[in-house]
Structure 1
């Protein structure tokens, strides 16, 4: 089966639509969410080819296939993250500037800043006294490196 577009996302479906269908999952690392062409396998052993026509990244909960009885869903694997909890705009600005200088991608959920685990970043957070936790957590979308060069 070749998947060329995302049908919907499970977060946009009503619970009755979810409950009545058999679910197969495709487990992906967050780094694979940016790949528009890839071969994957569901947790039931079904092979799929993904060849997305849109310039849109996959997200956790995306439905690749759905009929009246079945659906195939993207499930992003959890990964090792630093969850930064700045207490002030000053701390947020300080750590954002430091991470920006390192060209590290970040995501935000509420008042939390999420970055992929890096022992150097952990050491920096300790040095700056900025609160953080280290957790295995799912991200909804891929960490994206923004192309940039110092000219």
Structure 2
């Protein structure tokens, strides 16, 4: 089976199929438009997305009355940063921005992929954080940029 488009996402789906097959993948694979994957039931699927489409956790690749195939992202090793003030948020955002480090935000938390140098910086600046395995909704995307 070759999938060329995402049907929807389980978070917005009204009626779900009774049986769910999952494709477990690391978040960095969400950015790949062409790939071959295997469901947890041993079914091989080819993915060939058009344009600039990217996958997200919970995306549905196939669905009929009885079965659906869904993307499930495996947890990433992340630093969850929990600034206690606007000052702390500004400081860490500035520091991470200078490093061109991609970040995601969930509520009042900033998520970045684990890096021991960032962990040392957080300790030095006394900004609360925790290192954890956490499922992210989308891939950490590096933004191409060069200093002139």
Q: Normalization by structure 2: what TM-score?
A: 0.97
Q: CA RMSD in A?
A: 0.8
- Stretches of 4+ aligned residues off by more than 3 angstroms: none
Equivalences for 1:23-42 in 2 at 5 Å? 23-42=20-39
Q: Which runs of 5+ in 2 are unaligned?
A: none
Number of residue pairs matched? 148
Equivalences for 1:23-102 in 2 at 5 Å? 23-102=20-99
Q: Deviations over 1:21-56 (max 9, x none)?
A: 211000110000011111111011111100011422
Say whether the 8 Å CA contact 1:5–1:64 is kept in structure 2: yes
Structure with more of its chain in helix, by fraction: 1
Tell me how far 1:89 sits from its aligned partner. 1.0
Q: Normalization by structure 1: what TM-score?
A: 0.95
What residue in structure 2 maps to residue 12 of structure 1? 12
Q: Which runs of 5+ in 1 are unaligned?
A: none
Q: Distance in 2 between matches of 1:60 and 1:77?
A: 9
Q: Distance in 1 between matches of 2:79 and 2:91?
A: 16
Tell me how far 1:79 sits from its aligned partner. 1.2
